């Protein structure tokens, strides 16, 4: 039962059925842009990727929500194939938070992997 006040300030009660599942949210769909090409510095992988995760209930997680709800989304990141000028230092990534240290890298490949096995990839070119 739910109690509420109607438009005339009268207290009302309503009953309805609720289905409860003993099932934690998991990532059902993971999407990202294929390419990112810009001179704008970003801090996190999900910013470069324009990453979106949707759970089996249809709840969408974007940008900072992905890390804020890490216990549910469980997305991990890899950074591969970093290209640097001769003698430069390659970019690095924190696999849990997705925080990137660019160093001297001008391009690299980002992967986001969910605990449910969904994988997306974005190729980043940073001038």
Pairwise CA distance, residues 105 & 110, whole Å: 13
Distant-in-sequence, close-in-space partners of 83: CB < 8 Å, separation ≥ 6: 105, 106, 107, 108
Give the predicted TM-score (pTM) of the model.
Answer: 0.81
User: pLDDT tens across 56-115, in order?
Assistant: 999 999 988 999 999 999 999 999 999 998 888 899 999 999 999 999 999 999 999 999
The pair phi, psi for residue 66, each rounded to 5°, is -60, -45
HSE-CB for 101 with a 13 A CA cutoff = 7
- In order of 18, 21, 26, 71, 120, the CA distances from 76 in angstroms are 34, 26, 14, 12, 11
Q: How far apart are CA 16 and CA 28, in angstroms?
A: 28
Classify domain 22-126 at the CATH topology level.
Answer: Immunoglobulin-like (2.60.40)
CA separation for the pair 7, 92 (Å, rounded): 57
Q: What are phi and psi of 21, to 5 degrees?
A: -115, 140
Give the pLDDT of residue 11. 93
Measured CA to CA, the distance from residue 56 to residue 36 in angstroms comes to: 28
For residue range 1-59, list pLDDT tens digits in order: 889 999 999 999 999 888 888 888 999 999 999 999 998 889 999 999 999 999 999 99
């Amino acid at each position: 039962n739910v109690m509420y006040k109607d438009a005339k300030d009268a207290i009302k009660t309503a009953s309805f059925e609720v289905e409860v599942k003993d099932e934690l949210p998991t990532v059902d769909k993971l999407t990202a842009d294929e390419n990112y090409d810009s001179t704008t510095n970003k801090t996190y992988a999900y910013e470069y990727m324009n990453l979106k995760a949707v759970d089996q209930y249809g709840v969408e997680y974007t940008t900072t929500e992905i890390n804020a709800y890490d216990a549910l989304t469980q997305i991990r990141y890899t950074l591969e194939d970093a290209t640097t000028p001769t003698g430069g230092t390659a970019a690095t990534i924190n696999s849990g938070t997705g925080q990137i240290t660019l160093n001297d890298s001008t391009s690299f490949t980002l992967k986001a992997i969910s605990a449910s096995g969904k994988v997306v990839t974005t190729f980043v070119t940073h001038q």
